[in-house]
Amino acid sequence: MEAKPEKYIISIMVDNEPGVLARVVGLFSGRGYNIESLSVSEVDSDKFLSRVTIVTSGKEIIVNQIKSQLLKLIPVHNLIDITQEKSFVAKELILLKLKNNLKNRKKTLDIANKYNASILIDSNTELIFEMSGTTLEISDFIEKIRPYGIIELTRSGLVSMSLGLDYIKK
């Protein structure tokens, strides 16, 4: 049996210009690399820089290729492989919508409480929970809530940074 490919969290700083995300995503699809999650948003509005966090998996040799190919993209300023750092934090955000009925209300609120999920909307018809956590915590939370009837959910994909005073350079 083949060993399960390792997961890598790669963070890149890119020029926030039209098409930059297409360049990143196109590189992955064109060369047959995996993307497990991707999140992107502007982080420096003076320099028009966005930070992209990509979770990918594969053999080390492939991931090294991914990194050097990403660095070759002209709008990519810098890259760090967060999973290679000594220590790091990695979180994602979930919004989860449930039908609000008296029968399940207490049980679902208990679960939410246990997972530090907060109530975003509490209306006659629905409950929307918001929670941030590690990928594992979030998957756990979903599984616990699932029996009570999830209407819909959305996850942000992972964002991550390393610990210490070094930071991804611009």
Partner 1 sequence: MNKKITGAKLLIECLIKEGVKVIFGYPGGAVLPIYDELFKQKKIRHILVRHEQAAVHAAEGYARSTGKTGVVLVTSGPGATNTVTGLTDAMMDSVPVVCITGQVPTHMIGNDAFQEADIVGITRPCTKHNYLVKEVDKLASAIHSAFYIASHGRPGPVLIDIPKDVQTFKTQYLGKNKTKKLTYYSPKTNPQELEIISLVKMIKAARKPIFYVGGGAVNSGIKASKVLFELIEKTGFPCTQTLMGLGAFPTSHKQSLGMLGMHGTYEANLSMYNADLILCVGARFDDRITGKISGFSPNSKKVHIDIDASSFNKSVMVDLCIQGDIEKVLNKTIDLIKKERITFDIRKYQSWWKKINVWRKKDCLSYKKDNKIIKPQYALQRLNELTLKKEPFITTEVGQHQMWAAQYLTFNKPKHWMTSGGLGTMGYGLPAAMGVQIAHPNGLVIDVAGEASILMNIQEMSTLKQYRLPVKVFILNNQYMGMVRQWQELLHGNRLSESYMDSLPDFVKLAESFGATGLRATKPSELDDMILEMIKIKGPVIFDVCVDQTENCFPMIPSGATHNQMLLGPDDKAEDTISEDGMVLV
Q: What is the contact surface with partner 1 in residues (CB under 8 A)?
A: 15, 18-19, 22-23, 26-27, 30, 61, 64-65, 68-69, 71-72, 74-75, 77
Nearer to partner 1, 28 or 148 (CB): 28
> What is the closest distance, in whole angstroms, from the C-beta atom of residue 165 to partner 1 in the complex?
24
> What is the closest distance, in whole angstroms, from the C-beta atom of residue 73 to partner 1 in the complex?
8
Taking the C-alpha atoms of residue 5 and residue 67, their distance in angstroms, rounded to an integer, is 16
Paired tokens of 78: 């810098």
Determine the distance from the C-alpha atom of residue 142 to the mean position of all C-alpha atoms in its chain, rounded to a whole number.
16
Nearer to partner 1, 49 or 93 (CB): 49
* Torsion on CA atoms 144, 108, 158, 168, rounded to nearest 10: -130
> What is the closest distance, in whole angstroms, from the C-beta atom of residue 54 to partner 1 in the complex?
16
What residue type is assigned to position 81 of the chain? D
Residue that is written with structure tokens 């449930």 in the block:
98
